[in-house]
Chain A
Amino acid sequence: MLSSSTPDALWSAPSLRALRPAAVACTDLRFGRDLDRCTLTVPPGARLLIVSEPDGVASTLLSLIAGLSHPDGGEIRIAGATDPSAAGWGRRMAYLGPLPGMYPSMTPRESLRLAGRLLGLPRDEVDQGSERAAAWARIPPEAHDRPIARGGAELLERTALAAALIGDPEVLLLDEPLRAIEARERESLLRLPGPRLTVLLASRYPGTERGLVSHVAYLRGGRVAFVSAIAALEARGLSLSHGGLAAYAEPADAGAERRRETATE
């Protein structure tokens, strides 16, 4: 369902792989007290969980990447582009946050059509994309023409997920998504297909995201303390929890301190 206009074979050609830009690259991002020269590079196709200490910083980082807030300094590139407009990376990225921002008086069908029209998709593509996205988000057929407000938080979140998927984004930013949906179904909804789809998932409950991501980034003190494969974390006997991530970060912090001391000497 999720695809790009660039053929897979072209992306995977060895000669082009070196030129292929990171899906998301944040350089020296600063934002109030939350982020202090935060640098993070995410390759295409990665499924990255972002956990932070304190909790809200991961959400702040995704808001900045989505263009909902402006950084005090630093640079954000999506697929090599810095222009957030529709002509730049605006249509290649989608964001789903804890408050989806849908129009509650609209029906899911109207909302999905609106989402498609805002992206400038042709009418037939909007119709097909709406049906596919609604099917993926498992919006009940009887709810398609009912105002979202009458379907409660669950219908709101399903519609928001479908709206995020309708343009076949290359980068999907998920900030505490679909918390109103039962855990097992939520996991299956967020197991999005597509080898090149890059997913950044900010969560306060890292243990609940275990099956959805392959790597984790831990933010502390406004910076990325480490990025690690989940398997490497677990190989050390640490769990995907705040405690486990903090324990994993300590040797990394010590290493960075040692490197700083060496550089000073």
Chain B
Amino acid sequence: MSQAGIVTGLALRELWISFRLLLLLAVHLAAGLSVVVFPALVRPALDRFTLLVAAAAVVGAAVAARSISLERSERRAGWLVTRSISRGTIVIGWFVALGVITLAGLAASGGLAWLTVSLADPSLDVVAFGAVFAGVAGLCLVTLAIGLLLGALLPSRLSVPTAAVGCGVVMIAGWLGDPLLIPLAALRALPDLERPVSIGLQGTGIGLAMTGLVLVGARIALGRADL
């Protein structure tokens, strides 16, 4: 197994033991379950679903920040570095672990939501929903990367609130105002599925590109950190 694979396995183990894995899955599933358990008209149900997905993305950022901060403060990142693991591998390993859990949670949640709303309104297009939801997934990956960046820069007591408040403010601004950032536009488009495919594809692509850029920042930040 590659070193990145080993670090991903260690990250998944730590997330499992500390219940952070369950927390991440639970907040994403809660979004889907909110549609199933509290049936309503399609639009209000998707509004609620979108808000809860955004909240789950904020929780994801906080979990990512706490995870990497703890790796630093507990000296586990330092131990890995003295075992010839590069700092970039640590960032990638944690991102893959958090990303897999987030995408699994999103897939389950999106599946539940789609099954429910498509029964209520059979005219809804699965491709449109899938495309916009992929854009939202891109947004969730960006928030994870931002969490890792803040965790690499700040101690745990600062990185977690900074990640939560920062991502929360951006989500609320995107929801209430004009979402200039395309991944946020995907989130905004989810309830009414406007221009679904173009917004979805742009959101996914730009989200992945932003994730890559922020991860490079996280790598640089962890590279400069004292472990």
Contact = CB atoms under 8 A, between A and B. Distances in A.
Given A85-B84, A118-B84, A119-B84, A101 B226 contact: no
Contact of A99 (B3, B10, B75): B75
A63 interface: yes
B17, B84, B224 pick with most chain A CB within 10 angstroms:
B84
B6 interface: yes
Contacts of A85: 84, 86
Contact of B82 (A68, A70, A114, A117): A68
A99 B81 CA distance: 14
A69 B227 CA distance: 6
Interface string B46-86: 00000000000000000000000000001111111111111
A97 B78 contact: yes
Given A63-B226, A69-B227, A105 B84 contact: no
B84 A103 contact: no
Interface in B1-28: 1, 3, 6, 10, 13-14, 17
Contacts of A66: 81-82
B3, B17, B77, B79 pick with most chain A CB within 10 angstroms:
B79
B6 A118 contact: yes
B222 to A, nearest CB: 11
A202 interface: no
A40 interface: no
Interface of B is mostly: helix
Interface string B208-227: 00000000000000011011
A99 to B, nearest CB: 4
Interface residues of B, number: 24
Contact of A68 (B10, B81, B86): B81
Contacts of B79: 100-102
Interface in A27-83: 63, 66-70
A134 to B, nearest CB: 17
Contact of B226 (A68, A94, A103): A68
Interface residues of A, number: 26
Nearest to A70: B224
Contact of A117 (B6, B74, B77, B227): B6
Nearest to B80: A118
Nearest to A102: B79
B171 to A, nearest CB: 34
Interface string A107-125: 0000000110111100000
Given A97-B75, A117-B1, A118-B3, A105 B17 contact: yes
Interface in B121-148: none
Contact of B76 (A69, A103, A115): A103
A90 B84 contact: yes
A105 B82 CA distance: 20
A101 B78 contact: yes
B6, B83, B85 pick with most chain A CB within 10 angstroms:
B83
Nearest to B226: A69
Contacts of A101: 74-80
A216 B113 CA distance: 68
Contacts of A100: 75, 79
A86 interface: yes
Contacts of A90: 84
B134 to A, nearest CB: 35
Interface of A: 63, 66-70, 85-86, 90-91, 93-95, 97, 99-103, 105, 114-115, 117-120
Nearest 9 A/B pairs, CB to CB: A101-B79, A101-B75, A90-B84, A86-B84, A118-B83, A95-B82, A69-B226, A99-B75, A68-B227
Given A67-B82, A68-B81, A69-B227, 5 more contacts: A97-B75, A101-B79, A102-B79, A103-B13, A114-B6
26 contacts: A67-B82, A68-B78, A68-B226, A68-B227, A70-B223, A70-B224, A91-B84, A95-B82, A97-B75, A97-B78, A99-B75, A101-B74, A101-B75, A101-B77, A102-B79, A103-B14, A103-B76, A114-B10, A115-B83, A117-B1, A117-B6, A118-B6, A118-B85, A119-B83, A119-B84, A120-B3
Interface of B: 1, 3, 6, 10, 13-14, 17, 74-86, 223-224, 226-227
